[in-house]
Structure 1
Amino acid sequence: MANFIKNYQIDNLDQAILTELINDARIPYSEIAKRNRVSPATIHVRVEKMRSAGIIAGTRLQINAKQLGYDVCCFIGITLRHAGDYPTAIEKLEKLEEVIEAYYTTGQYNVFIKIMTPSINDLQHVLINRIQSIEEIQSTETLISLQQPINRDIQP
């Protein structure tokens, strides 16, 4: 477990750094420094402090799933047979490469997952043969996404 700096408060410079990195994680520290009229060393120190505080958790490459042939995005609400089935069900769902996100939720469903497949036929196969066959799952409800008009990160 990481040893985080507790109660780190971000200031305007930290917010500016985070905004720049959200827009382009590959931007050189020297460019961020120039835009904010500080030294590159200051940017480096601030980024490292925010990493130590757990504010910056890593960097990721963003992939266009549609360009890779994944045309179907859907969300599946899952009702478990028993509350105690959660750990086992999650372990089984994690093994399915089509499951790209999972949430433990309140309300109608115990678990809410996001999956991506190349086609509706592939979705049907995954749903019937791989998800609904998990014995800890009592029922599912599938919502197919038609488009994603908003996709953004939290702003600092």
Structure 2
Amino acid sequence: MPIDELDGRLIELFTAEPRVGVLEASRRLGVARGTVQARLDRLSRDGVIAGYGPEIDPAALGYGVTAFVTLQLRQAGGHDPVAKRLAQVPEVIEAHTITGPGDMLCRVVARSNTDLQRVIDVLVDVAGVERASSVISLATQVAYRTLPLVRASARRTGGAERRWPGEDGADGAKPGERPPG
């Protein structure tokens, strides 16, 4: 779904400050409250905004080890039964069907390396899983992000190649705000 610059600024504002209200957002963006509400409703209905929940840091919950586990599956039975079982393992925070040498890629968290071994053992015991290989993440270099995509999409739709207020922080504006002056 194409978005315009106002949609992008609205998404950026709510990403930076999820608790900002519709009235405050309308004030900061310089548009009517009804416009903000209608845009949020449309963006949610169209699936651009997938949710409004808090971001949880697994490390803050004691799960300081992150690993990526590639699973090779038996060719009979398909991915769905395995995916349903993986969804029951709390430490599996993402699972994707992939191309390449494996069949599924899981992002998992654990309390320690010893706990990671336990999690991998649980995954290998899932019916349909033939084999697992894992790599431990030492550091996150680029965290999950979507704002660059939002900005690029809004630029493409609007046809203008310009930087947004607050994009690089050099203009003194908060995300979603117009620069001072």
**Shorter-normalised TM-score: what interval?**
0.7 to 0.9
- Tell me which of 80, 92, 95 is aligned to 2:85: 92
The reply on whether 1:38 has 2:31 as its aligned counterpart is yes
Scaled by the length of structure 1, the TM-score of the pair is: 0.88
Task: State the one-letter code of the partner of 1:127.
Answer: I
SS in 2 for 1:85: coil
- Displacement of 1:37 in angstroms is 1.0
SS in 2 for 1:84: coil
Deviating runs (4+, > 6 A) in structure 1? none
SS in 1 for 2:72: strand
Deviations 1:29-70 (A, max 9, x none): 222212221122211111111112221121121122212111
Task: State the one-letter code of the partner of 2:131.
Answer: S
| Cα RMSD, aligned residues only | 1.4
In the aligned structure 2, how far is the partner of 1:12 from the partner of 1:131? 44
The reply on whether 1:131 has 2:123 as its aligned counterpart is yes
Contact 1:80 1:139 in 2 (8 A): yes
Task: State the one-letter code of the partner of 1:86.
Answer: H
Q: Mean alpha-carbon deviation: is it higher for 79-88 or for 90-99? A: 79-88
Q: How does 1:8-47 map to 2 (within 5 A)?
A: 8-47=1-40
The reply on whether 1:82 has 2:75 as its aligned counterpart is yes
Deviations 1:73-107 (A, max 9, x none): 10100011215331221121111111110001111
In the aligned structure 2, how far is the partner of 1:21 from the partner of 1:152? 16
In the aligned structure 2, how far is the partner of 1:52 from the partner of 1:101? 24
Which structure has more relative contact order (CA 8 Å, sep 6+)? It is: 2
- Displacement of 1:134 in angstroms is 2.0
Contact 1:74 1:114 in 2 (8 A): yes
**Percent of pairs identical after alignment?**
27
List runs of 5+ in structure 2 lacking aligned partners: 151-181
Equivalent residue pairs, number: 148
- Tell me which of 106, 128, 142 is aligned to 1:150: 142
Contact 1:22 1:153 in 2 (8 A): no
List runs of 5+ in structure 1 lacking aligned partners: 1-7
